């Protein structure tokens, strides 16, 4: 049972209602996590704007953004976001093997591995001691803009992970399977 409710478009704060109605039109539904965040109209608007800005930026591919979301969510222990981004990742072209690999921080090339390693460092230390990860990112061809976008994506996903974990948001995505035993 959720510890923080997921209001509907009708029961949400009046300034949140248009945001939830827009999500309903865009997605065909309002995911429970978005509704939960909607308790704070400012937080929901900020999150939606941040998501839109990151998706418009052409520095990271959709595949890379979903790999980041999967790995950060795994590191933060957010089953809701792991499930959501497993489903979304499939629509971004990730296979089941790609999804499992991203969750544990493995990509298919040096660029993806560098992106995930930098994200892991940011989650674990806030970025302290990231010299090696930054060197590997540079060696993999990542630009300053891409490094900043990685940090932004980690920050955004950490916010949604924290809300979902604290709220114990009810899962409304297909439940992601457990990772295979190593």
CATH number, residue 137: 1.20.1290.10
**82 in any annotated domain:** yes
pLDDT score of 51:
93
* CB-neighbour burial class of residue 122 (10 A; exposed 0-12, middle 13-18, buried 19+): buried
Domain extent at residue 132: 62-167
Angle, helix 144-167 to helix 62-75, in steps of 10 degrees: 50
Q: Identify how many contiguous H helices and E strands the chain contains and give both numbers.
A: 9, 0
One domain, residues 143 and 66: yes
**31 in any annotated domain:** yes
CB 84 within 8 A of CB 173: yes
Using pLDDT thresholds of 50, 70 and 90, give the confidence band for residue 182: low
Domain's final residue, options 30, 56, 82: 56
pLDDT (tens digit, 9 = 90+) per residue, 103-124? 999 999 999 999 999 999 999 9
Using pLDDT thresholds of 50, 70 and 90, give the confidence band for residue 8: confident
One domain, residues 48 and 88: no
One domain, residues 71 and 36: no
Please tell me the distance from the alpha carbon of residue 72 to that of residue 88, in angstroms, as a whole number: 15
Q: Would the pTM of this model clear 0.75, i.e. be above it?
A: yes
Give the mean model confidence (pLDDT) for residues 124-153: 97
CB 77 within 8 A of CB 69: no
One domain, residues 28 and 74: no
pLDDT score of 1:
81
pLDDT (tens digit, 9 = 90+) per residue, 148-181? 999 999 999 999 999 999 999 999 999 999 998 7
One domain, residues 105 and 128: yes
Q: Which percentage of the chain shows pLDDT scores above 70? A: 99
One domain, residues 47 and 70: no
- Give the tokens for residue 59: 């520095």
Higher pLDDT, 163 or 9: 163
């Amino acid at each position: 049972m959720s510890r923080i409710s997921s209001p509907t478009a009708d029961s949400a704060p009046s300034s949140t209602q248009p945001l939830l109605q827009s999500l309903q039109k865009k997605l065909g539904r309002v995911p429970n996590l978005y509704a939960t965040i909607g308790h704070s109209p400012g937080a929901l608007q900020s999150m939606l704007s941040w998501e839109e800005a990151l998706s418009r930026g052409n520095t990271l591919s959709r595949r890379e953004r979903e790999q980041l979301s999967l790995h950060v969510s795994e590191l933060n222990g957010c089953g809701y976001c792991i499930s959501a981004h497993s489903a979304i990742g499939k629509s971004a072209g990730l296979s089941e093997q790609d999804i499992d690999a991203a969750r544990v921080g493995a990509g298919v090339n040096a660029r993806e591995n560098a992106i995930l390693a930098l994200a892991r460092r940011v989650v674990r230390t806030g970025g302290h001691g990231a010299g090696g990860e930054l060197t590997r990112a540079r060696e993999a061809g990542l630009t300053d803009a891409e490094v900043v976008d990685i940090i932004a994506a980690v920050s955004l996903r950490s916010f949604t992970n924290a809300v979902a974990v604290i709220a114990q948001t009810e899962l409304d995505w297909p439940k992601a399977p457990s990772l295979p035993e190593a």
